[in-house]
Amino acid sequence: MVSFKLSSFLALVSAAAVLAVPASAGNATAIDIQRRATITTSTTGTSGGLYYSLWMQSNGGATMNIGTNQYSLTWQTSSQDVVAGIGWNPGSAQAITYSGSFTPNGNAYLSVYGWTTNPLVEYYITDSYGTYNPSSGLQQLGTVTSDGGTYNIYKTTRVNAPSIQGTQTFSQYWSVRTSHRVGGTITTSNHFNAWKALGMTMGAFNEQILATEGYESSGSSSITISGGGNGSPNPTTTNPATTPTSPPSTGGTVAHYGQCGGQGWTGGTVCASPYTCQASNGNVSLLNGVDAVSDLISL
């Protein structure tokens, strides 16, 4: 398990700078907790057929209780950074249905969290968060509508940072829901497809959990997973993903990767130098410069 923490809450430029710490660090071990329902140290394993992970930066200050398809977590500021959840290893492009409660006091996230390898990517599909928006300071690349809500899409790069493969440089992807919720279905394939359409490549699935993360905060959560995984029913969404869109132009001159035309477009049509408008396909808007929604177009 690798957790990301913000290096500084007060500087937006560091909002994307998060520390990744592998679950294998410290005293993390892989165990089967069929005979143990409460854990208080950094640990990964399986319970009732589901993968679980608890990671703490300070290895203290948090307690995770695991039941059938369910976990609860309480944490204190003494844990510094804590990430806990249940799910699968490896994960997949699946619909994950969950319910429960999420009560943070400070900075915390409730997300589908996971990794892929080759390429190495860390990703978050965030349904709710506490006092700090994890996308603060990041450039929005587009949006995706899924499961009754709209998610803003972001990408950043971690340079020489700890990961599930040791110290590496890797991409970090975010889908952050614009209206908070705790419970429902997260159709991960909608996000993965939207990311791919924006040129955000993924690799082979590694771990994937419905995670609670708290950084220098306190709080509690209790989450139950009722659908998802191999052989489990994957509920369908009533609002399938739409084609990802670029943020709208705010003037007559369109910035790099901004929309500059298309059916019904009423914004700017002049691209900032040295870029020119390029059409992708009939299902997406016109983009200037490199087409980040479809195939790469040479300038």
Active-site annotation holds for 216: no
Q: Give the E-state strand segments of the chain in sequence order.
A: 30-32, 38-39, 43-47, 50-56, 62-67, 70-75, 81-88, 95-117, 121-129, 140-146, 149-161, 168-177, 184-187, 204-227, 253-254, 270-271, 277-278, 287-288
Q: Is 79 in contact with 57 (CB distance < 8 Å)?
A: yes
DSSP for 61-119 reads SEEEEEETTEEEEEE-GGGSEEEEEEEESS--S-EEEEEEEEEEEEEEEEEEEEEEETT
Catalytic residue among 213, 278, 284, 289: 213
Q: Is 133 in contact with 6 (CB distance < 8 Å)?
A: no
State how far the alpha carbon of 195 is from the alpha carbons of 77, 172, 192, 246, 255, in Å.
34, 11, 5, 12, 21
Catalytic residue among 122, 127, 147, 207: 122
Cis status, amide bond into 90, omega within 30 of 0: yes
Active-site annotation holds for 207: no
Q: Which residues are catalytic?
A: 122, 213
